[in-house]
Amino acid sequence: MDSFQDVYLAALYFTLTTLSTVGYGEIVPANQAERWFSVVLLVAGVMSFAGLMSLITEVVTTYGESEEKNLRRQADNAIQSVTKTLNLRGGL
């Protein structure tokens, strides 16, 4: 009969395998050491993927913000140029 530790490790392994969408495949861990290795590898893979997605999201968001700031700066410069050209004291 399996110990509680074996049962919980197997449950953890199958839960992480399902949640990470790796699938069960044809090669499966046969003992506790192989299950622990698989669990650590699955967690590391999920964390790496999450970190990569976070980095990509930050880069895309930052790019959009810098474009917006550049457009605002160009608009402000154009308004100042028109204000100086027309000699408006209060601005537009």
Q: Is the pLDDT of residue 68 over 80?
A: no
User: Hey, which bits of 1-92 come out as E strands?
Assistant: none
Whether the model clears a pTM of 0.75, i.e. scores above it, the answer is no
Dihedral, CA atoms, 70, 74, 75, 80, nearest 10 degrees? Answer: 140
Rounded distance between C-alpha atoms, residue 92 and residue 84, angstroms: 11
Q: Per residue in 73-89, pLDDT tens?
A: 888 888 888 887 777 66
Rounded distance between C-alpha atoms, residue 5 and residue 45, angstroms: 24
